[in-house]
Amino acid sequence: MSLVFEPQVSLKAFNTFGVDVRAQVFAQAHSDADVREALAYCAQQQLPLLVIGGGSNLLLTADIPALVLRMATQGIRILSDDGVQVIVEAEAGEAWHPFVLWTLAQGLSGLENLSLIPGTVGAAPMQNIGAYGVEIKDVFAGLTALDRESGELRDFDLHACRFGYRDSLFKQQPGRWLILRVRFALSRVEHLHLGYGPVSQRLAQLGIAQPNASDVSQAICSIRSEKLPDPAVLGNAGSFFKNPLVPAALVAELKVDYPDLVAYPQADGQMKLAAGWLIERAGWKGFREADAGVHRLQALVLVNYGGATGLQLLNLAQRIQQDIAQRFKVQLEMEPNRY
């Protein structure tokens, strides 16, 4: 079946902020052939291409003068299984959290700490998504991407992806690589990551002394549901700012005035600050102006109360950045991609 190209489509349903902007042309890819057809269409029409997944990492500030291609490819398969390590491959359009639940149902561990993160499998390596002590790079076994410059397929290993904190080659080279499918190295032997206090505390509250991977997933889902608003109810893109990495000397300086400053030592000698702590301490938690605001329970989350535009949300984010820079000498970096 040929790709269906639709003109002037609202993207409100395709971004978790619920911002109502229009795509000049919109289509949904269900196969590699659809992706190639979209590229050919753009070349023929001299039209830019914007590829989206679940829309959970987007801040749309204006109508998009491009073909917006939503990756809707489906499929999960086990490539190898030696009884301990299992290599699982998923198509880019698979929704992330249902994929995590599928792996757990197969008795596979490794992704449980990444439960309830919005978005799609294909978008996960872009940001090197992470939560509660685990990142994509920790369970990564490879991916296949289409080079939009040459039209060739390329397989990437861990080293080639250049994963960093919420970063990757694919984020560093925007518009070049189109991720088609991702592979994960999971295990039938559980090696649980319980180092983050809230997880072990929640398991204790649930009366679970010897948790399994599914228990950890359920505990994390419970924590995230309390902290983060459901995008279907209140528009948001999850954590809006990265936790900043700063010199240890700045942390020592800040602790003079803020002895309760939250900071985590890093392997390279830097310190990671909790962006949410900085924003809350600056008084932004629960702030609202028209329909753009900061969530009342989690200062790291910007929210759309219904009618906020992308520009209103961007303006709020920039004001927060300026305030944090002035108060703490710390530059906050936005996580969502802006268009």
Per-residue pLDDT tens for 283-301?
999 999 999 999 999 999 9
Would you state the pLDDT for residue 1?
53
Tell me the CATH number for domain 76-187.
3.30.465.10
Which residue type occupies 170?
F
Q: Cα separations (Å) of 322 from 273, 291, 316, 325, 338? A: 17, 21, 10, 5, 18
Residue 281 has pLDDT above 60, yes or no: yes
Per annotation, catalytic residue among 166, 181, 224, 281: 166
Domain parsing of the chain, residue ranges: 6-71, 76-187, 235-338
According to the CATH classification, is domain 6-71 in 3.30.43.10?
yes
Residue 37 among the catalytic residues: no
Tell me the CATH number for domain 235-338.
3.90.78.10
For 201, the token pair is 């505390």
Would you state the pLDDT for residue 197?
78
Per annotation, catalytic residue among 91, 112, 135, 335: 335
One-character DSSP codes across 70-123: EE----EEEEEE-SSEEEEEEETTSBHHHHHHHHHHTT-BSSGGGTT--SBTTT
Per annotation, catalytic residue among 56, 115, 222, 239: 239
Would you state the pLDDT for residue 83?
95
Give the C-alpha separation, 273 to 284, whole Å. 17
pLDDT tens sequence across 163-209 = 998 899 999 999 899 999 999 999 999 999 998 878 999 999 989 99
Residue 239 among the catalytic residues: yes
Residue with tokens 């398991």, as numbered in its chain: 203
pLDDT tens sequence across 12-67 = 999 999 999 999 999 999 999 999 999 999 999 999 999 999 999 999 999 999 99
Residue 149 among the catalytic residues: no
Residue 243 has pLDDT above 70, yes or no: yes
Q: Is 38 helix (H, G, I), strand (E, B) or coil?
A: helix
Would you state the pLDDT for residue 226?
87
